[in-house]
Amino acid sequence: MKKNKVKKIKPNQPPPEDLANNKRDRQPVIIESLRHGATVRAACRAADISHETFYKWCERDAKFKKQVLAAKQSSVFQVEDALFESAKIPLPGHATDRIFFLCNRSEDWHNVNKIEHSGEVSIKSLLTDKGVEE
């Protein structure tokens, strides 16, 4: 029986042509999946790569990273448009899922309250203020 040999790549050696083609074929699948609202893991499954490979590509390829960010933003715009349309003609239960998506995917929609505190607070002072004695 004939065994398939695995090509080993040295650290500073350019990748063989078949790996370069693999990347060129799979990146558009990832971008399209993200544009349609897929998570990174789902997009990686669609392209048949690991999410570790995806993040390496993002680190090493500024153009790909820019395309990824644009695709993610595109899906946010689509959901914002759908939310706007549903606000004009309300359908029960449809707004909440869109708002949840936007709060988890877009910096502009995060639902976070930040409270700044200065000074000192101790349990003893809190209990004294409430009339509780030691």
Structural domain total, the chain:
1
pLDDT digit string (tens) for 95-113?
777 777 777 767 777 666 6
Cα 25 from chain centroid (whole Å): 22
- In a domain, residue 131? The reply is no
Helix residue ranges, H only, 1-122: 17-35, 40-47, 51-60, 62-88, 94-105
Q: Which of 84, 88, 54, 90 is nearest to 72 (CA)?
A: 54
* CATH of residue 55: 1.10.10
How high is the pLDDT of residue 34? Answer: 93
- In a domain, residue 4? The reply is no
Rounded CA separation 57/47 (Å): 13
How high is the pLDDT of residue 13? Answer: 44
Rounded CA separation 134/124 (Å): 8
- In a domain, residue 47? The reply is yes
Band (pLDDT 50/70/90 cuts) for residue 7 is very low
Band (pLDDT 50/70/90 cuts) for residue 62 is very high
Burial code (b: 16+ CB inside 10 Å, e: under 16) for 82-95 equals bbeeeeeeeeeeee
Residue span of the structural domain in which 26 resides: 17-108
- In a domain, residue 129? The reply is no
- In a domain, residue 124? The reply is no
Does residue 82 or residue 124 have the better pLDDT?
82
- In a domain, residue 36? The reply is yes
- In a domain, residue 22? The reply is yes
How high is the pLDDT of residue 44? Answer: 93
Q: Which of 48, 67, 50 is nearest to 58 (CA)?
A: 67
- In a domain, residue 38? The reply is yes
